[in-house]
A and B are shown apart, each in its own frame.
Chain A
């Protein structure tokens, strides 16, 4: 059984079809890249999987349960964490607090514990802090030490992306959805992050699905590449297979309109 199985997923925004019937399966321990031209519906797919929008039709089966239509917090709790294309941190919380907040759904102590400073509460707070620091150390020295107490908005762009990944890791997910993790990074930074994404699987055991534009990153780290165009899957396979697929090349470079309808038709059949 695949970890995540999407069946005939559809989502339209006021007549614009963002996702027009996507099927996708992700096995545990895989790294899958989703590529496709702008407006292909990649981020919409993430938004639907993570519960930000409910799908119009179709199923999202995660660990054997259909999670379609659940609230984002429930889905996060079920084990799917994500990052955002335009990094969205809590800018005025400190670096450490950002990661601590991520652990909310894995911890339990409520108001009583905080007021009476129960032993369980203190123990949990200690664990939260320890874990947060541990997660941040995954990114080397960049987010540790004096950085812990800095507000997130002072961080550089690359560090914000790292912090966002750290926050997602803190939710203890099984599946990590990364939306353009290397966007806006220079070649050195993205090479480094590529390596980290590999380590997310090998060291931490996450399954990763990412949207990525940088083909070097995609080629280096993905087991499988899925290509979306106009809300439908037009190709799937290894990086090599996909990069030589005619449909894919045409999707990126464009082709006459009448052709497209026929090929999509064929694809469906």
Chain B
């Protein structure tokens, strides 16, 4: 008896079950797509009409976005690995990166004053890289030891709040020690200025350097995670800490390794920042940190290749997006809204696909 009406209505509800929250989310999704599409169309029209940027300017934007994205990607690895293993967002990772950039600046400045910077640029860059990596690694390990180790197994939000505290502590440690002003790295050595032409495709040497360094680091990291014993231990601990411990893996040491590797990658990213932007101060780590986290989520948190991919995508989006979409909508002063675009990307990623584009890789406890 009952079947007909109740059942049919219920069957429809089974598929959609549209509460008004769902409706709202769909509205956001559709709205976002419409806005983006509209902006794109506007930009294409402008382009066709010869207004706005030229093709070569667009290309430069894309390359700038790519190199910046490579930096985000390296930074995202740190978020992704820590989340994969310990299940919390290490909010202070951006500050680990900033420490590398700040101390790297001291090294670069010293090299510049000593004349080595001009005389032997490659050696100088390697020294700055080593100093930045060492600093970031050390800071990361120290933070783990002092702040996070005691919090294993605490409710999820407690380590997150702690990391916010660590983040501000580190920021203002640098602010009070070095002053709040922006310090500028010395001009990049001659050989990295200008552009190269590869097969008719012009690319800035600095951007190229950044991209090459990112690829090399990624290969190194991939080798480390998949081929070495510590890398395997890392993956085991990420999957299940207790069982890993039962298998004779030193969990504490492995977690330190995770922080160290994440820190080292942040150090590499610090060098990239120095090459791309040159200016550093205590606040340098904050926005890149949040953007890198966005990249990690975009790529699927816990997924290392995804983190890199997410970084590149976000970099591209941030480089091109404001002009392409907002410019196409006819909004003035788009460069001011660069960070708004990045944050909106974060919100949209989490609304559209919270498990990321390439899928999450989380341990048994963190999979919900």
Contact with B along A49-64 (1 / 0, CB 8 A): 0000010000101001
A67 contacts chain B at the CB level, 8 A cutoff:
yes
Contact B7 A69 (CB under 8 A): no
Shortest B13–chain A CB gap in Å is: 7
For B15, the closest partner residue in chain A by CB is A69
Interface size band for A = 10 to 19
A29-73 contacts to B, CB under 8 A, are: 54, 59, 61, 64-71
Question: A59-B7, A61-B7, A64-B6 are contacts. A69–B1 as well, Cβ < 8 Å?
Answer: no
Q: Which of B2, B11, B14 contacts A64 (CB 8 A)?
A: B2
Contact B11 A66 (CB under 8 A): yes
For B6, the closest partner residue in chain A by CB is A65
User: How many residues on the B side are at the interface (Cβ–Cβ under 8 A)?
Assistant: 10
Contact A69 B13 (CB under 8 A): yes
A269 contacts chain B at the CB level, 8 A cutoff:
no
Chain B hits for A59, CB < 8 A: 7
Contact A70 B13 (CB under 8 A): yes
Cα(A61)–Cα(B1), bound, Å? 12
Contact B2 A1 (CB under 8 A): yes
Contact B1 A66 (CB under 8 A): no
B152 contacts chain A at the CB level, 8 A cutoff:
no
Cα(A54)–Cα(B15), bound, Å? 10
B145 contacts chain A at the CB level, 8 A cutoff:
no
B149 contacts chain A at the CB level, 8 A cutoff:
no
Shortest B8–chain A CB gap in Å is: 9
B126 contacts chain A at the CB level, 8 A cutoff:
no
Chain B hits for A64, CB < 8 A: 1-2, 6
B202 contacts chain A at the CB level, 8 A cutoff:
no
For A70, the closest partner residue in chain B by CB is B17
Contact with B along A1-40 (1 / 0, CB 8 A): 1000000000000000000000000000000000000000
Question: A1-B1, A1-B2 are contacts. A66–B17 as well, Cβ < 8 Å?
Answer: no
User: Max chain B CB contacts within 10 Å: which of A59, A65, A66, A69?
Assistant: A66
Question: A1-B1, A1-B2, A64-B2 are contacts. A71–B17 as well, Cβ < 8 Å?
Answer: yes
Contact with A along B1-25 (1 / 0, CB 8 A): 1100011001101110100000000
Chain A hits for B15, CB < 8 A: 69
Cα(A64)–Cα(B5), bound, Å? 10
Shortest A14–chain B CB gap in Å is: 11
Contact B14 A69 (CB under 8 A): yes
Contact B7 A68 (CB under 8 A): no
Contact with B along A121-147 (1 / 0, CB 8 A): 000000000000000000000000000
Cα(A70)–Cα(B11), bound, Å? 11
B203-251 contacts to A, CB under 8 A, are: none
The 4 closest A-B pairs by CB, nearest first: A64-B2, A66-B10, A69-B14, A65-B6
> Could you write out 24 A-B pairs with CB less than 8 Å apart?
A1-B1, A1-B2, A54-B14, A59-B7, A61-B2, A61-B7, A64-B1, A64-B2, A64-B6, A65-B2, A65-B6, A66-B6, A66-B10, A66-B11, A66-B14, A67-B10, A68-B10, A68-B14, A69-B13, A69-B14, A69-B15, A70-B13, A70-B17, A71-B17
- Contacts A68-B10, A69-B14, A70-B13 aside, 13 further interface pairs with beta carbons under 8 A come to A1-B1, A1-B2, A54-B14, A59-B7, A61-B7, A64-B6, A65-B2, A65-B6, A66-B10, A66-B11, A69-B13, A69-B17, A71-B17
A residues contacting B by CB (< 8 A) are 1, 54, 59, 61, 64-71
B residues contacting A by CB (< 8 A) are 1-2, 6-7, 10-11, 13-15, 17
